[in-house]
Amino acid sequence: MRVKLARDILKANDQLANGLRRRLTSHGVLGVNLIGSPGSGKTTLLERTIERLEGLRVAVIEGDIATALDAERIERTGAPAVQINTEGACHLDANMVIDAASELDLAVLDFLFIENVGNLVCPAAWDLGEDVKVVVSSVAEGDEKPRKYPAVFQKAAACVLSKVDLLPHVDFDIERFRADAALLNPDLTVLPVSAREGTGVAEWVAWLKDRLTAKRQRR
């Protein structure tokens, strides 16, 4: 019974997510679901991304268990942000995102970023209506993340390998990380980035722009 209930819940969620994805497509908006552990650098990455997407219109939905600290950081970049506090839930779901998106004018956007609750497990299973999932994994967390959390790497279109400025100071084998990720998902794009120093940010932003262009060409 529990398995059936879980399937029913996910099915209902997927229906809501598909509806939001159709809305994003109708407006030509690329939805990006950022998934990563607490402290992996998701919010800092978003701050640098918004700076580099100058001339393009960006909004962010921030998911956290508590506080509006990350949304406040995003608003300081000039981009609109909507905070979701899950009050203990370990992931966002489509209904939460739809409610948050109702506070945004999707018709004027190019990108909608959803920063999921810090977690590499639960968020991988939930469709939020995004076009792409992106996993953010920092070198400070260790190079075994693809092996320990395979589902999110299997479902992601890209992996931002963050905080690469710390590589000289941590025990991290980048080639093993790439190889393990490729075994799970041969199509996964791995993008080494240091948001602090700016390394790799241009390549990440170019990847995003390419996905936006490809989506609009398919409309």
Predicted local distance difference test score (pLDDT) of residue 140:
97
Q: Quick one: pLDDT at residue 119?
A: 96
44-61 pLDDT, tens digit each: 999 999 999 999 999 999
Average pLDDT for 179-190 = 98
Q: In the structure encoding, which two tokens stand for residue 62, read together?
A: 């921030």
Q: Are 85 and 115 in contact (CB under 8 A)?
A: no
Across the chain, mean pLDDT equals: 96
Q: Which residues pair with 31 in a beta bridge?
A: 112
pLDDT band at 1 (very low <50, low <70, confident <90, very high): very low
Q: Could you tell me the end-to-end alpha-carbon distance of the chain, in angstroms, rounded to an integer?
A: 41
Q: Return the amino acid letter for 16.
A: L
Res 6: pLDDT: 57
| Buried/exposed 60-79: b ≥16 CB within 10 Å, e otherwise | bbbbbeeebebbebbeebeb
What's the pLDDT tens digit per position in 74-115?
999 999 999 999 999 999 999 999 999 999 999 999 999 999
Specify the pLDDT at position 219: 76
* 30 burial level (CB within 10 Å; 0-12, 13-18, 19+): buried
pLDDT at 81: 98
pLDDT at 10: 85
Domain boundaries, the chain: 2-218
Give the mean pLDDT of 158-177. Answer: 98
Interhelix angle 94-101/2-27, rounded to 10 degrees, is 30
- Which of 67, 130, 12 lies closest to 4 in space, CA to CA? 12
In CATH, what class is 2-218? alpha beta
Extract the runs of DSSP E, i.e. beta strands, from the chain: 30-36, 58-64, 81-85, 111-115, 132-138, 158-162, 189-192
Comparing C-alpha atoms, which of 86, 123, 79, 83 is closest to residue 105? 79
Residue 8 has pLDDT above 80, yes or no: no
Quick one: which H or E segment has residue 47?
Answer: helix 42-52
pLDDT tens profile 107-162: 999 999 999 999 999 999 999 999 999 999 999 999 999 999 999 999 999 999 99
Find, among 4, 49, 8, 25, the residue nearest to 129 by Cα. Answer: 25
The owner of tokens 């990455």 is: 45
> DSSP state, 194?
B
Structure tokens at 210: 């390419």
